[in-house]
Amino acid sequence: MMRQAGRYLPEYRRVREQAGSFMKLCSTPELACEVTLQPLARFRLDAAILFSDILTVPDAMGLGLEFVDGEGPRFRNPVRSAADVHRLSVPDPDSDLRYVMETVRLIQQNLNAGVPLIGFSGSPWTLATYMVEGGGGQDFRKIKGLMYEQPAVLHELLEKLADAVALYLNAQIAAGVDVVMVFDTWGGILPAAHYEEFSLAYAKRVLDSLNRRQADKIIPTIFFTKGGGQWLDAMAETGFDALGLDWTMSVGEARRRAGHKVALQGNLDPMALYAPIDTIRTEVKRILEQFGHGDGHVFNLGHGILPDVDPEHAKAMIEAVYEFSPAFHGR
């Protein structure tokens, strides 16, 4: 589940309170490891997901990340000009983000054998959006203004971020993650004419820079653009092994268009977890039926689980997947 370890679990909230701040929780390997493993102790999940945040990379670039209660992430030093971009340096993940790599190694020491660990990063476009807006955007006027008024400056920023994200994910792979995922949370805000230029091209640049071939395996890759259904065919051509889908697109239609090229991940509407358990079970079965028979489907939410979801409803979703999926996937 997206945000698999997080605010909806009471055991997570206890550790978060112990840490004192969200960034302290992310940057303390013992605590980040603990909350990574918490969902697997409670639910029958097929993988662990590294507990971290997509904004660790821009924080390591000196933007001064802080989380404001009720407002979300904020940067004390947003990027607003060519001079700001020129000053940015690509962080060394083994020093500037060492705490993430220590967390990965600690998780692998404590993770049950055979359970894969998913690492991740934000996409260059999504990270740029937060960096230019100074936090979460509403109308995204600052990042879009930069795109239209000074596209060369934005491209310079995206190039630096693509290099930073590739280094970051390669460091996670070296530390022990088994899968990597790139979250393009804000790709869907782009006009159709600009998505491939400003978002997809830089996600592909990251992919092409990954050290995917390890001694005994090849690291699978997943790409997710929220609101990106109209670009599904272009995303399937990039070389990612799987594409995440948000809840606005039929997984059956996605399979017809791209399922012969990529696996698909998704895509239950997170809001469905507020429904009665019988309804949750119906929605799970509906998605499985839409995908149909055969392999290549990773069941997931279409975006992050929300903080006030009842954990028992999350459990009902997971158990429904185990109950219904063998009829479609044969196991």
Residue 303 annotated in ligand binding:
yes
Task: Find out whether 179 and 170 touch, Cβ atoms under 8 Å.
Answer: no
Looking only at the bridges linking them, the beta strands covering 72-75 and 117-122 are unpaired
59 in any annotated domain: yes
Statement: residue 200 has pLDDT above 80:
yes
294 in any annotated domain: no
177: closest CA among 95, 265, 99, 105? 105
Residue 4 annotated in ligand binding:
yes
Statement: residue 331 has pLDDT above 60:
no
- The residue that leads in pLDDT, 216 or 245, is 245
Statement: residue 223 has pLDDT above 80:
yes
Domain interval for residue 20: 10-244
Residue 18 annotated in ligand binding:
no
Task: Find out whether 187 and 122 touch, Cβ atoms under 8 Å.
Answer: no
Residue 7 annotated in ligand binding:
yes
Structure-block tokens of residue 261: 């090229």
Q: In 86-116, which positions are buried (b, 16+ CB within 10 angstroms) versus exposed (e)?
A: eebebbebeebbbebbbbbebbbeebeeeee
DSSP secondary-structure letter at 213? B
DSSP secondary-structure letter at 96? T
DSSP secondary-structure letter at 215? S
Instruction: Determine the pLDDT at residue 216.
Output: 83
Instruction: Determine the pLDDT at residue 41.
Output: 95
Distance, CA of 72 to CA of 68 (rounded, Å): 5
Instruction: Determine the pLDDT at residue 3.
Output: 87
Q: Which of 43-57, 128-142, 290-304 has the lowest mean pLDDT?
A: 128-142
Instruction: Determine the pLDDT at residue 68.
Output: 76
**Helical ranges in the chain per DSSP H:** 10-19, 22-26, 29-42, 56-58, 82-87, 98-110, 124-133, 141-149, 151-175, 192-195, 201-208, 232-236, 251-258, 277-291, 311-324, 326-329
Q: What residue type is assigned to position 309 of the chain?
A: V
Q: What is the CATH number of the domain that holds 209?
A: 3.20.20.210
Residue 6 annotated in ligand binding:
yes
265 in any annotated domain: no
3-state secondary structure (DSSP) of residue 9: coil
Q: What is the pLDDT of residues 118-138, one digit of tens each?
A: 999 999 999 999 999 998 878
Residue 5 annotated in ligand binding:
yes
Cβ neighbours for 292, distance < 8 A, ≥ 6 positions apart: 252, 255, 328
In sign, the C-alpha dihedral spanning 152, 153, 157, 163 is positive
Q: Which of 34-48, 58-72, 239-253, 311-325 has the lowest mean pLDDT?
A: 58-72
Distance, CA of 199 to CA of 184 (rounded, Å): 8
pLDDT category at 143 given cuts 50, 70, 90 is very high
Residue 322 annotated in ligand binding:
no
Residue 44 annotated in ligand binding:
no
Q: What is the pLDDT of residues 268-285, one digit of tens each?
A: 999 999 999 999 999 999
60: left (phi over 0), alpha (psi -120 to 50) or beta: alpha
Statement: residue 218 has pLDDT above 60:
yes
How many structural domains are present in the chain?
Answer: 1
Q: What is the pLDDT of residues 224-270, one digit of tens each?
A: 999 999 999 999 999 999 999 999 999 999 999 998 999 999 999 99
Residue 53 annotated in ligand binding:
yes
Statement: residue 305 has pLDDT above 90:
yes
Q: Mean pLDDT over residues 87-97, rounded?
A: 96
279 in any annotated domain: no
62 in any annotated domain: yes
319 in any annotated domain: no
Cβ neighbours for 69, distance < 8 A, ≥ 6 positions apart: none
271 in any annotated domain: no
Instruction: Determine the pLDDT at residue 214.
Output: 86
Structure-block tokens of residue 225: 């653009």
280 in any annotated domain: no
Query: What percent of the chain shows pLDDT beyond 70?
Result: 99
**What residues are annotated to the active site?**
3, 7, 16, 53, 130
Statement: residue 36 has pLDDT above 70:
yes
CA distances from 26 to 31, 93, 97, 162 (A): 8, 15, 11, 22
Statement: residue 8 has pLDDT above 70:
yes
